[in-house]
Amino acid sequence: MTADTDAELIETGRKLFAGDWQFFWAAPSIEALPPMAGVEVAFAGRSNVGKSSLINALTNRNALARTSHTPGRTQELIFFEGPKSSVEGKDTSLRLVDMPGYGYAAAPKTKVASWTALIHKFLQGRANLARVYVLIDSRHGIKDVDTDVLKTLDRSAVSYQVVLTKADQVKKTELDATLAAVTDALRKHPAAFPELLVTSSRTGGGMAELRAAMVKLLQERTS
């Protein structure tokens, strides 16, 4: 990819996410999912990894996705839809899916188990799901619960890419060590996209690159 292509993708991404993004659907179960349309990308991660904050930063909204200091507040698959865009001469739309956080949650174990089952079923049966962005906290790296989800994605043959969050909250040396460790761990996962994205919802770092990656997905899906 050339520098000109990179710049073009970044600018297209900026325009796309500067548009009107709205809450579209909430699904507490697989049976309640919206009809498949457009291109979907989902955000998965441990509770309190910063999924909602990332979606707000991506879409330049303060409260599109609900954020909370209480882990486990997102209990459904939450869909957000952007404006129709013309890609390769075809009109299409992009949907963002905020998934329930896995791992620790302030809820009974039976409820957490149902959320986890919902996540796994969604990943295995959504034909228009173009990619899953697996969010990993820069301060902690990959944990066992993350590895379980990565294995599910491998089995489902769903393309996924790791996004490090909260990069502004660690020193550069610590961030570099986490990057190296995560990159090494991903070599064991065949469905993982090799390039990591490093982001900070607070500073906006990495958002342009993440938007550009989604534009590229739209182009690939509509070509």
pLDDT digits (tens, 9 = 90+) for 164-210: 999 999 999 999 999 999 999 999 998 898 899 999 999 999 999 99
More confident residue, 73 or 188: 188
pLDDT at 87: 62
Give the mean model confidence (pLDDT) for residues 117-138.
88
* Tokens matching residue 18: 């500067």
pLDDT digits (tens, 9 = 90+) for 142-171: 998 899 888 888 888 788 999 999 999 999
Give the Å distances, CA to CA, from 14 to 8, 10, 18, 19: 10, 6, 6, 9
More confident residue, 117 or 139: 139
CATH for 3-222, among 3.40.1390.10, 3.40.50.300, 3.40.630.10, 3.40.1160.10? 3.40.50.300
pLDDT digits (tens, 9 = 90+) for 88-119: 556 678 999 998 887 765 566 776 677 777 87
- Above 70 in pLDDT, residue 133? yes
